[in-house]
Amino acid sequence: MVELITGLRAEDVRANLERARSEIARVGRNPDEVQILAAVKYVPAEELGVLSDAGLELLGENRAQDLEAKADAYPGRFTWDFIGHLQSRKVKQILPYVRHIQTVASDSALEQLRRHGTPQTEILVEVNVAGEAGKSGIAPAELPDFLERSPVNVVGLMTMPPLAPDPEDSRRHFAALRELAGEHGLTQLSMGTSQDYLVAVQEGATIVRLGTSLYRSGAS
């Protein structure tokens, strides 16, 4: 059973957030051009006020029911993205709460977006750039046709590279996603997590999804 993240302190989270912004600047990017999304899958709703106090505004949730509950608990306080595996039957439930669904990767999801989306609906397409068997995301070669079939506005791409001990191992996958987005005029790139976000930032990430690096106490 996964342990929930509790006992958060605003001063720790704020220090970690500022450290991340400083590190983004250190590798040559303007921190204002990289959105830091706090992944809150394992953060209980009652802890989210601490994140707001620490200056976090953009949150990402993996599960539709938790997204709904957490957003309802803090109306108007955060901007939300959906970042988990997308079940097409959950699209209708998710849409009223989010800025972006970041993980669209199936025709069934597109059909639900056709039924329930609006002209303002924006999504990111999840791409399996490494071609991992059994992993979510469309193949890069499928992207042009997928974009043509989308009934809503695709603003960018998202990827999760293979888990690797060395962040440099992810660089080629991040670079491939950047090139793919550039070929199709897409401006948003959601890539990079706590372990490899600086490499992602160097390769053009505009959104990084951070969890443990924001929540740990006394990070150095």
Cβ neighbours of 31 (radius 10 Å): 16
Under DSSP, the state recorded for 95 is G
Question: What is the C-alpha to C-alpha distance for residues 187 and 24, in angstroms, rounded to an integer?
Answer: 18
Query: What residue spans define the domains of the chain?
Result: 10-215
The answer on pLDDT for 10 being more than 80 is yes
Alpha helical stretches, state H, the chain: 10-26, 48-53, 64-73, 91-94, 107-116, 143-149, 171-183, 197-202, 212-215
> pLDDT-derived band of residue 1, with 50, 70 and 90 as boundaries?
low
The tokens for 153 are 């506005």
Q: How many CB atoms lie within 10 A of CB 16?
A: 23
CATH number given to 10-215? 3.20.20.10
Instruction: For the beta carbon of residue 69, count every other beta carbon within 10 angstroms.
Output: 12
pLDDT in tens, 33-87: 999 999 999 999 999 999 999 999 999 999 999 999 999 999 999 999 999 999 9
Whether the pLDDT of residue 190 is over 50: the answer is: yes
Rounded to two decimals, the pTM is 0.96
Q: Could you tell me how many helices (H) and strands (E) the chain has, helices first?
A: 9, 8
